[in-house]
Amino acid sequence: MPEQLMQQIVNGLLIGFMYALIAIGLTLIWGVMNIVNFAHGDFLMVGMFTSFWLYTLYGLDPLFSIPICTLLLFVMGLLIYRFIVSKVMAGPMLAQLVVTFGVSIFISNLAVYWWSPDFRLIAKPLLSGTWDISGVQLSIPKTVASIGSIVTSLFVFLFLKKTKTGKAILATEMDREAALLMGINTERINSLSFGMGAALVGIAGAFLSTYYYIYPQVGGVFGTIAFCVVALGGFGSISGAFIAGILVGLVQTLGGFFFDPSYKYAIVFMIYLITVWIRPQGLLGW
Q: Which is nearer to other proteins, 144 or 171 (CB)?
A: 171
Nearer to other proteins, 258 or 286 (CB): 286
Whether residue 156 contacts residue 24, with contact meaning beta carbons closer than 8 Å, is answered with yes
Closest among 205, 243, 237 to 73, alpha carbons compared: 205
Q: CB pairs under 8 A, 24+ apart, for 102-108?
A: 103/38, 103/39, 103/42, 104/38, 104/39, 104/41, 104/42, 104/219, 104/223, 107/39, 107/42, 107/43, 107/45, 107/46, 108/42, 108/45, 108/216, 108/217, 108/219, 108/220
Q: State the number of binding residues for other proteins (CB under 8 A).
A: 18
**By C-beta, is 132 or 177 nearer to other proteins?**
177
Is 132 a residue that touches other proteins (CB under 8 A)? no
The Cα–Cα gap between 214 and 205 comes to: 9
Give the nearer residue to other proteins in terms of CB position, either 23 or 168: 168
Q: Which of residues 160 and 208 has its CB atom nearest to other proteins in the complex?
A: 160
Nearer Cβ to other proteins (190/209): 190
Q: Closest separation between CB of residue 161 and other proteins, Å?
A: 9
Window 158-177: residues binding other proteins (CB under 8 A): 164, 167-168, 170-171, 174-175, 177
Q: Minimum CB separation from other proteins for residue 170, in Å?
A: 6
Burial of 124 by CB count in 10 Å (0-12 exposed, 13-18 middle, 19+ buried)? exposed
> Applying CB under 8 A, does 284 fall inside the site for other proteins?
no
| By the rule CB under 8 A, 71 interacts with other proteins | no
Among 10, 145, 179, 199, binds other proteins (CB under 8 A): 179
- The single-letter DSSP state of residue 214 is B
132: which strand partners? Answer: 137
- 260 lies in the site for other proteins, by CB under 8 A: no
Binding interface with other proteins (CB under 8 A): 164, 167-168, 170-171, 174-175, 177-186, 286
